[in-house]
Amino acid sequence: MSLDVQRSATVRRSTTVHRSGTRKGPNPAVNATASKKQKGYEVVQQGIKELCPLDKANVVPDLDIVFVPGLGANPEDSWKSSKTDFNWTTHTDGLRRDFPKARLLLYMYDSAWTGQLKVKQFMGNIAMGLLVGLRSKREKCQRRPIVFIGHSMGGLVVAKAITLADSRRDLFPIMFEATTACIFFGTPFGGAPVASVAAMYAHFAEKVDVAFSSKLLELMKPGDEELRQLTHDFMRLAGKISPKIELFCFWEEHPTDFSKMAGLPSLFGLTRSLIPKQYAEFVSRDSATLPGVEELGLACNHRDLVKFDGPKDDRWTQMVRDPVKRIIHGAQLAVRNRLNSVRDIDRAMISGIMDALDGAQVQKKRKALSQSFSPSSWIPQEAEYLEWLGSSGEPNEAQASHTVDCLYVRGPEGRGKTNATMAALDGIEKLMRDNEENDSGQGPILLVYFFCDTTAEYSTAEDVLKSAIRQLINQQETLAPYAKIFTKKKGKDDASRSQQAQITVENMWQSIQDMLADEFIGSRVYFVINNLHALPAESDSTIKLMKFIAGELEGIRSTDSKRVATRWFITSRESHNIDNVLKTDRVRVIDLEDSRYENQVQLELRKHAKKMISAIGQQKQYNKALAYFASSLVGKRAQNTQWIDITCIQLGELSDTESDLGVRRILENMPQDLKTLLDHSWRQIFQLNEAHVEKIREMLRALVLTYEDPTESELGLLAGLSSGDQERGELRKLIEQCKPLLFLKRTGKPDSVVCFVNIIVKTHLWENAKELLGLSKEEIKWQHGVLALRCFSHIKDALDFPMPDPVPEETETAELPETTEGEDAGEDDATEHEDEEAGAIDDTEEEVDNDEEYSESEETYEEDGEEEEGEADPEVEMVKDKALAYTVKHWLHHASKATLEIAEDLSLEDDFWNPDSTIRRRWMIEYARMTSTFDDFDYKTLNGLHVAASIGFRQLVAALIRNGHEAEIKERDSLVNTPV
């Protein structure tokens, strides 16, 4: 059906078609005045008119009430009393009194079939015009509830429009779901007998240009098949959706003079007393009501069904007002419940998606950061921020034209980027609450945020996107089907496993794009990414993510009206790859190094200093004078929050008996530059422990290169210390000597985790490894090789044990009673000890992963390990926790960062790389349990080349091929993949 029905608010037609109502010319002398008042088609209006516009600055509409007049009626006068001019659609004591936040709309259309303004018209065209007009009016508030009020044939227009809204969801998204109620006044669902007579009259009158033969009159004939089908379809749709569309029918009790109503001289030239009853009742009760729908008769004729003499008219106050109020109330809740139930929500599917995309716990991360970073007080006041947030309920045209917008907060470490992020999150959440409370019909506002850093599950592009998908589904469960491709299907059938999409940047980005195009997602989605620079710039996944973000910000999809608007908030250090991505017109920049913001940034640093010194003061019982001095000095000298934090940590290490003068002297001598402060701290540690300085340096060489925080046992092995009690005690002393820059994280398990006090401390030590640890770039490669071979030797020793001989069933049964209680207890103790060690290892996964290339494949493993259904490998329990977790996960990562010759050396380890290697099989069992690298593969079908290639160790792949494994190039795994 053509959509040319959509026109401007006023349709102007040529006046040349205007003809007088009679064949006899008028007397100019008598009708001179009358002719001046005659009006032609230029006065006819078409479209949706807003009655009594609301004050949009103070009132956000929560409901649209649409009035649809009847056949040939004056759209505005149809609802106005002929006695008092009271119009209940516009008067302050009419419907506006009960629904002050409702937007009252009037649909105006041509339908006259007699007189000067007669037109040929069709029901489908009128209904389509109603939908097109509403679509234009509701472009930014598609979820706002709609209540239709139709008089006479206007009710049929409403019914037709609802059927079209259901069948043409592509053109009118959510229009059908947003319709909550329809109120009908004298609508001829069963036809009107007088319409047959009128149609016959129009047929003959058309020949003399007095009327047009009207399809609308044909439609309203009793027994018309098209009318019957329309009524049937409408009733089916009204009850089909849940909650159902509320309906109410009013019908007339008094007879109607149709000849006056239609502007005809008379009906057959008969007096009213001689007109048959079926023609006097323009719309009978049977025709004006629907089966099972609440109804009420009004003591008036057909025309006066929607006319009341005033706000105290009994027909209005007692008969109409209360039913209308009852039906309209609850419209918002009905739409909300309806949109949530439109699509079936598969809880099992959602659970599977969450498991497959398990990763960062952003809410927990935010709570932890909030202890150290308070929301910025000045960022929310900046014009750039206010313009970006766009908190107005009704976006103007300029805002509407931007489907993507971005605010970029750039600055060095410790200048307030995370504080700005905290403020932005608070501002967006307030906006979300206001939007929900006002229920403007624009749909919910969604928020996705992520805190990038170098720790596991927060350090890769995959981590960002996995969290984004999870957050979107948590807020709108109807979006889950767009991510079902990531669910894990357990089973033996390799074909079913191969259908699962890989968790890649490309696949996850496409999933998010599909969600953003969903018609039910809401009105706006905010993406907040903190410290984007923490993602490894050279990683392929980071490069892809940056490319996708660049395309988003360039507005590639901005012309897609069906796609929800997105806004981005990004913080980062100054970085070439990020600055290139964000160089578009859509990006607003707040540079924290800009002199314009110097005072605001310094004020934030002083607040942070006061907060930190206050905490230290309570711990150390500083008096007010000392607390004031320390807070003022630190706040004035601070260049970033890290300097404040490290300074306060050093103050915390001082003796409780330290005098005020001692504290003051230390503060006055404290280096003002962060690098100088940390250099001074490390050198002071080395000077105070000259006897053990080499062991301390070797421990730090290992710790600074780790991909995650190791346990004490793991660090001892990496540092080359034996695992005996004496050496463990020595390691503990070395860690204590490095306080406050190192600390032991208690996990409640026997083995604690060794951590840097702040990620900036590890970063500084890495960047200054040459001066502090004697590690040049080449020596760093050697150190990686040392760590790799220490891990590899440990794995070979731990996993190279013989399989126990199978115990004959009879012998086993016979020996059971022989087992002593002491032996049972010993076995229980051993098992319990293993479980505790496993738990301790599990807890280490919460911390640091400073690798920039391989951290993307690492995830916290579950302690109990997951096995595919139907598989029972006897070695799984045998090898569990035999080797230290860090060595299992990262020995190949370290090897890949070492010098080239290590690949050649490792390739000659035949007892590990041979196809039937027991050690490699056992290592892969543990590696698969602890990481997600092989989640979508059957690791039992992977050969040595598969393993080296999956880790990305190209030099090892080449060395294995050179040293006798070339035949493995053509071998395929369970998914029919070759190694290269």
Please write the tens of the pLDDT for every residue from 559-581: 555 688 899 999 999 888 898 88
Under the banding of pLDDT at 50, 70 and 90, the label for residue 832 is very low
The tens digit of pLDDT for each residue in 864-901 reads 444 444 455 778 888 888 999 999 999 989 998 999 88
pLDDT at 146 exceeding the cut of 50: yes
- How many CA atoms within 13 Å lie on the side-chain side of 192? 29
Buried b / exposed e over 291-313, threshold 16 CB at 10 Å, is eeeeeebbebbbbbbbbbbbeeb
Cβ atoms of 792 and 891 closer than 8 Å:
yes
Under the banding of pLDDT at 50, 70 and 90, the label for residue 195 is low
Cβ atoms of 324 and 94 closer than 8 Å:
no
Please, which residues have CB within 8 angstroms of residue 480's CB and are 6 or more apart in sequence? 345, 346, 349, 350, 353, 473
**DSSP class of residue 317?**
I
Interstrand relation of 742-745 and 753-756 (parallel, antiparallel or unpaired): antiparallel
| Tokens (6 digits) for 640 | 């970033």
10 Å CB burial of residue 616 (0-12, 13-18, 19+) is buried
pLDDT at 216 (0 to 100)? 62
**DSSP class of residue 966?**
G
Please, which residues have CB within 8 angstroms of residue 570's CB and are 6 or more apart in sequence? 406, 407, 408, 409, 528, 529, 532, 578, 582
DSSP letters, 332-361, are: HHHHHHHHHHSS---HHHHHHHHHHT----
- How many CA atoms within 13 Å lie on the side-chain side of 696? 22
Please, which residues have CB within 8 angstroms of residue 427's CB and are 6 or more apart in sequence? 380, 385, 389
Q: What is the CATH number of domain 346-593?
A: 3.40.50.300
Distances (CA, A) of 609 to 617, 740, 859: 12, 19, 35
pTM over 0.85: no
pLDDT at 39 (0 to 100)? 52
Helix (H) or strand (E) holding 405: strand 404-410
766 vs 701: CA distance, rounded Å:
9
Cβ atoms of 282 and 198 closer than 8 Å:
no
Query: In 10 A of CB 805, how many CB atoms?
Result: 6
Please, which residues have CB within 8 angstroms of residue 78's CB and are 6 or more apart in sequence? 69, 70, 151, 306
Q: What separation, in Å, do the N-terminal and C-terminal C-alpha atoms of the chain show? A: 56
Taking phi over 0 as left and psi of -120 to 50 as alpha, with beta for the rest, 457 belongs to: left
Buried b / exposed e over 357-387, threshold 16 CB at 10 Å, is bebbebeebbeebeeebebbebbbebeebee
Residue of 765, 777, 776 lying closest to 699 (CA atoms)? 765
Residue ranges of domains in the chain: 59-73+85-338, 346-593, 600-670, 840-980
Under the banding of pLDDT at 50, 70 and 90, the label for residue 747 is confident
pLDDT at 864 (0 to 100)? 41
Q: C-alpha angle with apex 429: 329 to 509, nearest 5 degrees?
A: 105
Query: In 10 A of CB 654, how many CB atoms?
Result: 13
pLDDT at 26 exceeding the cut of 60: no
Average pLDDT over residues 742-763: 86
pLDDT at 111 (0 to 100)? 60
Under the banding of pLDDT at 50, 70 and 90, the label for residue 472 is very high
Which strands sit side by side in the sheet containing 246-252, from one edge to the other? Answer: 47-51, 102-108, 63-68, 146-151, 179-185, 246-252, 294-298
Average pLDDT over residues 8-35: 43
Q: What is the CATH number of domain 59-73+85-338?
A: 3.40.50.1820
Query: In 10 A of CB 846, how many CB atoms?
Result: 17
Return the percentage of the chain with pLDDT > 70, whole number: 74
- How many CA atoms within 13 Å lie on the side-chain side of 277? 4
Residue type, 126: I
